[in-house]
């Protein structure tokens, strides 16, 4: 058994999550070897009460918990480590915080709009938006990659999908930055984190409710229209469900793509051999490169499940009501599953990562869209900005909560040879 120089309780410190990605992931190595499950105590940030959870660090246990939704549920208290007050769940729940039958009902309604035909339409939109976004900075020669591309692009795609006008984009961007920022003062200012997040949720729900009412009267071809205007015999989202779903899409659907793009560019620049290999055969290697980026970056840091009844996993007995927290980044570098797991290898196949969650009812509904979106972005960037390089350290979110739900980057400085705007030709 390997002994760690640092205690596993470091994952409860904000400084741990502000380390570079490689250093943070390296810290998991001895902890993962010590045990598959670690019992950790913490104080509830709102009540101050002492509570505990089991940190899950290995791949096999993440798969098992994900599959056993009847034993390890999502609908009791939240998917965050600490139980959230009801008003938080009202705004930020949607079906990510639900169990069956409510979960299946809402997910089924939404999945009707994630068909291959609809996905092809969205990818056409991604191609167009990507060209537009790169046009906005390609003549500058240097930029903060997060600010100019990976932050706006996925959210523009989501807003276009939902039919939200561009005039409201800044409102959506600011609100999602507050929700995704894990309390980063740069996005909050002097506001109380809890109050700021609630207010951001209120803004997004109000915007979505107004749009939903309009689409009921005047439906178009966007996702909002499809969710509030059912075909004969089909169920549809209720008025109080459409806003929380949009928050889920704009936050959970945005963060994986946004941070996969940022981390992906950084990983490729840190591994010039892999970048050269990808350039040599993008058609063949982009799909496996995207899977490896998601594995290595694991943008969604964790998800919590609650034990519904006395049960056992890997020799550990659980009592009803106890919490397990699946740390996806640690599981995605488990040497029991991945050969040389700390190596970035864009040809890795098979690649059984859990970057989109484990198997089971809560596997990411938008995983295929996220994959294709990252592929499109990388192709555009490598084609239009062929000598792009990272010029400084990636700056992580200055989270006040640990662990943060999203292992995000808020800055990534890059430079490149200025190029002509495609729209100017």
Q: How confident is the model at residue 112 (pLDDT cuts 50, 70, 90)?
A: confident
Distance, in Å, from the CA atom of 294 to the CA atom of 354, rounded to the nearest integer, reads 9
Non-local (6+) Cβ contacts of 321 within 8 A are 76, 306, 307
Query: Does pLDDT of 92 surpass 80?
Result: no
Mean pLDDT of 332-355: 97
For the chain, the average pLDDT equals 88
What is the model's pLDDT at position 184? 64
pTM (2 d.p.): 0.92
**Of 41-55, 93-107, 129-143, 352-366, highest mean pLDDT:** 129-143
Q: CA 296 → CA 243, 246, 291, 374, distances in Å?
A: 32, 28, 9, 14
Distance, in Å, from the CA atom of 369 to the CA atom of 249, rounded to the nearest integer, reads 12
Query: Does pLDDT of 191 surpass 90?
Result: no
Architecture of 8-424 per CATH?
Answer: Orthogonal Bundle (1.10)
Mean pLDDT of 248-257: 78
Q: How confident is the model at residue 2 (pLDDT cuts 50, 70, 90)?
A: very low
Query: Does pLDDT of 253 surpass 90?
Result: no
- Least confidently predicted of 157-171, 193-207, 352-366: 193-207
Residue matched to tokens 């694991």: 298
């Amino acid at each position: 058994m390997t002994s760690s120089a640092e205690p596993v309780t470091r994952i409860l410190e904000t400084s741990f999550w502000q380390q570079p990605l490689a250093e943070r992931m390296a810290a998991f190595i001895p902890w993962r070897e010590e045990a598959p499950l670690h019992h950790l105590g913490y104080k509830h940030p709102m009540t101050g009460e002492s509570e505990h959870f089991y940190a899950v660090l290995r791949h096999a246990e993440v798969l098992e918990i994900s599959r056993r939704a009847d034993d390890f549920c999502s609908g009791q208290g939240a998917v965050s480590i600490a139980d959230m007050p009801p008003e938080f769940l009202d705004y930020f729940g949607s079906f990510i915080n639900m169990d069956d039958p409510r979960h299946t009902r809402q997910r089924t309604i939404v999945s009707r709009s994630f068909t291959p035909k609809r996905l092809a339409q969205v990818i056409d939109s991604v191609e167009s938006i990507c060209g537009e976004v790169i046009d906005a900075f390609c003549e500058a020669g240097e930029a903060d990659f997060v600010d100019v591309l990976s932050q706006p692009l996925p959210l523009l795609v989501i807003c276009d999908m939902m039919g939200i006008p561009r005039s409201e984009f800044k409102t959506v961007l600011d609100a999602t930055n507050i929700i995704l920022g894990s309390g980063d003062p740069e996005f909050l200012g002097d506001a109380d984190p809890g109050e700021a997040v609630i207010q951001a949720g209120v803004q997004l729900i109000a915007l979505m409710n107004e749009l939903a009412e309009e689409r009921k009267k005047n439906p178009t071809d966007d996702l909002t229209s499809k969710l509030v205007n059912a075909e004969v015999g089909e169920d549809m989202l209720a008025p109080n469900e459409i806003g929380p779903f949009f928050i889920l899409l704009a936050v959970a659907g945005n963060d994986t793509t946004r941070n996969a793009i940022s981390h992906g560019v950084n990983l490729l620049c840190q591994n010039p051999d892999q970048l050269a290999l990808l350039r040599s055969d993008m058609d063949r290697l982009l799909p496996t490169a995207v899977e490896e980026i998601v594995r290595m970056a694991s943008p969604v840091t964790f998800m919590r499940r609650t034990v519904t009844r006395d049960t056992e996993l890997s020799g550990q007995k659980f009592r009803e009501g106890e919490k397990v927290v699946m740390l996806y980044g640690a599981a995605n570098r488990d040497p029991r599953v991945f050969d040389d797991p700390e190596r970035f290898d864009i040809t890795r196949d098979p690649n059984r990562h859990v970057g989109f969650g484990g198997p089971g009812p809560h596997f990411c509904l938008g995983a295929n869209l996220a994959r294709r979106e990252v592929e499109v972005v990388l192709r555009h960037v490598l084609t239009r900005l062929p000598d792009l390089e990272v010029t400084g350290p990636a700056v992580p979110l200055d989270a006040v909560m640990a662990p943060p739900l999203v292992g995000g980057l808020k800055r990534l400085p890059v430079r490149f040879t200025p190029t002509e705007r495609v729209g100017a030709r």
